[in-house]
Amino acid sequence: MTSYILRRLVMTIPILIGISILSFAIMYLAPGDPASMLIDPNIKPEDLERMSERLGLNDPPHVQYMKWVGHILQGDLGTSFIQRRPVNDIIMERLPNTLVLMIASSLFAIVLAIPFGVLSATRQYSVLDYSVTTFSFIGVATPNFWLGLMLLMIFSVQLGWFPSGGIHTINVPFSIWDRIHHLILPMIVLGSYDMASLMRYTRSSMLDVIRQDYIRTARAKGFRERTVIYKHGLRNAMIPVITIFGLMLPTFIGGSVVVETLFSWPGIGQLFINSVVQRDYPVIMALTMFSAVLVVIGNLLADIFYAIVDPRIEY
């Protein structure tokens, strides 16, 4: 097992190098830099030059890249051009918010998707199955910003059930209920796509499993349907779903950009958009790198989990 994990870790190295080159290249080729974005008659080209110099933007690309990677390897993601402080600090301040949102959304997705996916597979062609299927199709086809706007309009503006943004009410003491209250809408919006697709994966995986020979064996042993499905079927059905879940991480990160913008959620997605707009390269690169690492770790965990769940995987 350790060797398996090690091997997977080693495999991530070239991926990370590739990612770092790609994100650096894109930034390097991008037009405009943070200094030149000001239109101000009082700021003279010399000032811009001076600022570029300070930011190291005048070095040749490979030097910039090596410097950057060198720092990253030491755990230093650089200094924000705009906020003039370590990118590490900025990300660490926002990361918990994004994580809370992502974890809540994935829990939301899993908790609803798996039972309904299983039910709809075991009752194929029932009303429940059709409803689940329809729902999941619609869930996958709805752009999440649109869903978000609609939910905001209905539940926040028209009905006033939920706050319209932020992660907690300002100027009131901390309360867990207040946090949850703020979390619900963004969680639904971020989780809906993955819930829908997870539901479909669970359903089809389960359908696949219940046609397997060992399910027939379990039936021949005289077990009740419930035992057959939940004891013999579910675990096998979950194996492919786990990998899918690993692959869902990027959609969560991507979705967080939209959801955080919609709900004024101060996480890394919002930070990313701000940084792109402001050409804050260290932050952009750090965030791309960071979330790529997150995805890589997610996949790694999924693989490891997969290996744990599926005894057939030899490591």
Partner 1 sequence: MTTQTQSHEPQTAPESKRLLEVRHLKKHFPVKAGVLQRTVGYIKAVDDVSFHIDQGETLGLVGESGCGKSTTGRTIIRLYEPTSGQIIFGGQDISHLSERQLRSIRQDIQMVYQDPFSSLNPRKTIGTILEEPFSVHRLYSKKERQERVEALLEKVGLNPSWRNRYPHEFSGGQRQRIGIARALTLQPKLIIADEPVSALDVSIQAQVLNLFEDLQDEFKLTYLFISHDLGVVKHICDRVGVMYLGKLMEIADKNSLYDEPLHPYTQALLSAVPRPNPNIKKRERIILKGDVPSPVNPPAGCVFHTRCPMATDHCKTNVPEMHEVKPGHFVACHLYHE
Partner 2 sequence: MSALLEVRNLKTYFYNRKKELPIIDGIDFDVNRGETVALVGESGSGKSMTAFSIMRLLPSPGGKIVEGQILFEGQDLVQLSEEDMFKVRGNDIAMIFQEPMTSLNPVLTIGEQITEVLRYHKKMEKKAARERAVELLKLVGFGRAEQILGDYPHRLSGGMRQRVMIAMAMSCDPKLLIADEPTTALDVTIQAQILELMKKVSEEFDSSIILITHDLGVVAELAERVIVMYAGQIQEEAPVKALFNNPLHPYTFGLLASMPSIEGGSKRLYSIPGNVPSPENFPTGCRFAPRCAKAIEACYKTQPELREIEPGHKVRCHLC
Partner 3 sequence: MSQIHQHLPAPATAEDPKAVTIGERRSLWLIIISRFFQNKLAVAGLVCLILIILAVSFAPYLTPYEPHKQDLTNRLQPPSAEHWLGTDHVGRDIFTRILYGGRVSLMVGFSAMAIMITIGTLVGAIAGYYGGRIDAILMRTVDVFISFPSIFLLITLVAFLQPGLSTIIFVLAIFGWMGTARLVRGEFLTLKKREFVLAARTTGMSNVRIIFSQILPNAMGPIIVAATLGVGSIIMTESTLSFLGLGVQPPTPSWGNMLTDAQSVTIFRTAWWYPTFPGLMILITVLAFNFVGEGLRDALDPRVIEK
Q: Is 220 in the site for partner 1 (CB under 8 A)?
A: no
Tell me, what amino acid is at 196?
A
Structure tokens at 210: 């219940």
Consecutive H or E run containing 46:
helix 45-55
Write out the binding residues for partner 2, residues 197-236 only, by CB under 8 A: 212-214, 216-224, 227, 231-232, 235-236
* Cβ proximity of 264 and 168 under 8 Å: no
* Closest distance of CB 2 from partner 1, Å: 9
* Cβ distance to partner 1 smaller for residue 7 or 50: 7
Tell me the C-alpha to C-alpha distance, in Å, between residue 7 and each of 13, 82, 312, 313.
10, 39, 18, 14
Binding status of residue 1 toward partner 1 by CB under 8 A: no
∠ CA 229-234-235, nearest 5°, is 135
Q: Is 158 in the site for partner 1 (CB under 8 A)?
A: no
Residue 3 lies near partner 1 (rule: CB under 8 A): yes
Q: Is 27 in the site for partner 3 (CB under 8 A)?
A: yes
Instruction: Pick between residue 46 and residue 314 the one whose CB is nearest to partner 2.
Output: 314
- Per-residue contact string for residues 291-310; x = within reach of partner 3 by CB under 8 A: xx--xx--x-----------
Burial of 141 (0-12, 13-18, 19+ CB in 10 A): exposed
- Decide if residue 209 touches partner 3 (CB under 8 A): no
Cβ proximity to partner 1: between 151 and 304 the closer is 304
CA angle 64, 88, 23 (to 5 degrees): 40
For position 10 contacting partner 1 by CB under 8 A, the verdict is yes
Tokens of 102: 């992502």
Secondary structure element (H or E) that encloses residue 245, with its range: helix 234-262
Residues near partner 1 (CB under 8 A): 3, 6-7, 10
In the complex, which residues of this chain contact partner 2 (CB under 8 A)?
125, 212-214, 216-224, 227, 231-232, 235-236, 239, 309-312
